[in-house]
C-alpha cells in the first residue's frame, strides 16, 4: 500500500486532543511538513505552550493510530517532532523534572474545606506508598503549617547537586512548603499580585522537592492571577475541584471548572469532591443528615461530564484534628486500616485521584461520575 500525506492526515483525524475532544487535524495541530521515506513517516505536532499537559499522550496516541488507520507497516515511532505556536525557543518543560504528577486542589469559593481536603489527600496518598509533596499556594490565607502542626518550624537550606535549595518541611510522609513559614502568622500578607506570584515561583523552583509521585498545590479560592501563574509555570496533570452540596457553592464550583477549561488555561479536571456531604453524629455513625442539600455535586459532575471523586461527611473530628495538627487521614499511615468513615473517605479519594492521573497519562477516557452515598 502506498503511503501519501493525505492518508496520514486522514488517519490522524482519529487522534483527539483530550483538552476539548476535537481531533488534532481539525485543530490545526499537524504541521504541513509530512515527510515520507518508504514506510518511514515523520511530521510535527504543534502545541500552544511547552507546559501543555497532553504533549506526551497526544504523541503516543498518534504513534499508535497511524499503523491502525493508515498502514500496518508504517514506521513513525520516535519520528514525531513537537513544536509550539509562538515559535519561541522551547522553555524547560517544568521546573520540577523529577515530579510525575502535579495536581491542583481548587474551589470556586472559600469556606468549603479545600485546604482540609488537600492536606488529607496528601497524607492519604503518602500512606498508600507514594512520594508526595504539598505546596500551600494560598498566599493570603496559608493554613497548612497549622494543619500539619508545624507552625513553629524554621526553613533551612540543603545542598544538593552542588546548589543550595530550600528544604521542605516533612511530616506524615509529606514534603510541604508554605508562605506561612516566612511571614508573621499574626499579620496579614499585604502583597500585590506580582509579589505573590514571585514568592510562589521561588517555593516551586528553589526548593529541593526531589523525586515525587504527586505534587499537590493547595490553590487560593476563587479565580485569580495566582492560578494563571501556576498553570503557566507548571505542566499540571489535572485539578481537583472541592465544593459543598449547597447551590451557591456549586455555582462557584461551576465557574472554577469553566476557568480551568478556558482556552487561556486549558487544564484537565480530574474530578469533583463534595465536602460536608452529610452530617454524621459520632455516637451514630450510620446516620446521615443532609444539612447543606443532597447530591448537588453528583448532579453537577454528571452535568459537566467529570468524575465525582468522593463525598466527604461532615464530622466534627475532621476540623478538630486539622486544628490540632493531626489530620484525619493520619489514621491511614503505616499501612493501618482507617476506622472512621471520614478517614476511609480520604483513603478512597486518594485511590480515585491516582486512578484518574493514570488515565490522563495513558490518554484513557475518565470514569463516569458515581454517587457514593
CB 348 within 8 A of CB 370: no
The torsion angles phi and psi of 52, rounded to 5 degrees, stand at -55, 125
- Between 27-31, 72-76, 209-213, 275-279, the lowest mean confidence (pLDDT) is in 275-279
State the residue for C-alpha cell 478512597.
348
The predicted structure's pLDDT at residue 90: 44
Domain limits, CATH 3.40.50.300, in the chain: 99-361
Q: Are 42 and 80 a contacting pair, CB within 8 Å?
A: yes
3 state DSSP class of 103? strand
225 vs 34, more confident: 34
Q: What is the mean pLDDT of residues 221-231?
A: 74
Return the CATH number of the domain spanning residue range 5-84: 3.30.300.130
pLDDT digits (tens, 9 = 90+) for 137-182: 887 778 899 999 999 888 899 999 999 999 999 999 999 999 888 7
- What CA–CA distance (Å, rounded) separates 209 from 97? 10
For residue 178, the surrounding DSSP H or E stretch is strand 174-178
CB 199 within 8 A of CB 147: no
Residues 6+ apart with CB under 8 A from 91: 50, 51
Task: Tell me which CATH homologous superfamily contains domain 99-361.
Answer: P-loop containing nucleotide triphosphate hydrolases (3.40.50.300)
Residue 227's Cβ-count burial label (10 Å; 0-12, 13-18, 19+) is buried
The whole-chain average pLDDT of the chain stands at 84
Burial of 95 (0-12, 13-18, 19+ CB in 10 A): middle
DSSP string, 297-308: HHHHHHHHT--E
Three-class SS of residue 225?
A: helix
The per-residue pLDDT for 93 is: 56
Is 208 exposed, middle or buried, given 0-12, 13-18 or 19+ CB atoms closer than 10 A?
Answer: middle
Measured CA to CA, the distance from residue 313 to residue 92 in angstroms comes to 42
Domain with CATH 3.30.300.130 in the chain: 5-84
Residues 6+ apart with CB under 8 A from 187: none
Amino acid at each position: 500500500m502506498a503511503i501519501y500525506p493525505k492518508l496520514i492526515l486522514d488517519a490522524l483525524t482519529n487522534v483527539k486532543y483530550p483538552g476539548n475532544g476535537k481531533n488534532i487535524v481539525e485543530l490545526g495541530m499537524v504541521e504541513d511538513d509530512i515527510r515520507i521515506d518508504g514506510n518511514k513517516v515523520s511530521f510535527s505536532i504543534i502545541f500552544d505552550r511547552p507546559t501543555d499537559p497532553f504533549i506526551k499522550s497526544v504523541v503516543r496516541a498518534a504513534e499508535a493510530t497511524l499503523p491502525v488507520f493508515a498502514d500496518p507497516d508504517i514506521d513513525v515511532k520516535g519520528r514525531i517532532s513537537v513544536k509550539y505556536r509562538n515559535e519561541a525557543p522551547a522553555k524547560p518543560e517544568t521546573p520540577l523534572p523529577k515530579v510525575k504528577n502535579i495536581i491542583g486542589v481548587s474551589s470556586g469559593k472559600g469556606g468549603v474545606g479545600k485546604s482540609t481536603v488537600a492536606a488529607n489527600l496528601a497524607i492519604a496518598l503518602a500512606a498508600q506508598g507514594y512520594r508526595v509533596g504539598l505546596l500551600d499556594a494560598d498566599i493570603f490565607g496559608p493554613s497548612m503549617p497549622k494543619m500539619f502542626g508545624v507552625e513553629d518550624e524554621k526553613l533551612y537550606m540543603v545542598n544538593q547537586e552542588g546548589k543550595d535549595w530550600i528544604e521542605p518541611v516533612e511530616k506524615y510522609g509529606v514534603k510541604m512548603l508554605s508562605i506561612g513559614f516566612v511571614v508573621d502568622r499574626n499579620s496579614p500578607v499585604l502583597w500585590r499580585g506580582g509579589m505573590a506570584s514571585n514568592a510562589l515561583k521561588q517555593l516551586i523552583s528553589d526548593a529541593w522537592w526531589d523525586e515525587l509521585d504527586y505534587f499537590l498545590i493547595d490553590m487560593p479560592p476563587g479565580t485569580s492571577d495566582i492560578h494563571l501563574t501556576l498553570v503557566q509555570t507548571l505542566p499540571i496533570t489535572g485539578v481537583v475541584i472541592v465544593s459543598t452540596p449547597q447551590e451557591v457553592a456549586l455555582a462557584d464550583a461551576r465557574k472554577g471548572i469553566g476557568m480551568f477549561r478556558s482556552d487561556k488555561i486549558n487544564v484537565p479536571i480530574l474530578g469533583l469532591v463534595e465536602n460536608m456531604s452529610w452530617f454524621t453524629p459520632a455516637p451514630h455513625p450510620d446516620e446521615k443528615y443532609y444539612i447543606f442539600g443532597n447530591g448537588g455535586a453528583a448532579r453537577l459532575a454528571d452535568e459537566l461530564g467529570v468524575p465525582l471523586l468522593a463525598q466527604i461527611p461532615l464530622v466534627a473530628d475532621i476540623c478538630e484534628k486539622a486544628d490540632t495538627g493531626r489530620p484525619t487521614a493520619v489514621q491511614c499511615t503505616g499501612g493501618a486500616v482507617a476506622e472512621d468513615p471520614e478517614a476511609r473517605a480520604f483513603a478512597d479519594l486518594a485511590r480515585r485521584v491516582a486512578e484518574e492521573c493514570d488515565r490522563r497519562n495513558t490518554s484513557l477516557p475518565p470514569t463516569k461520575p458515581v454517587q457514593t452515598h
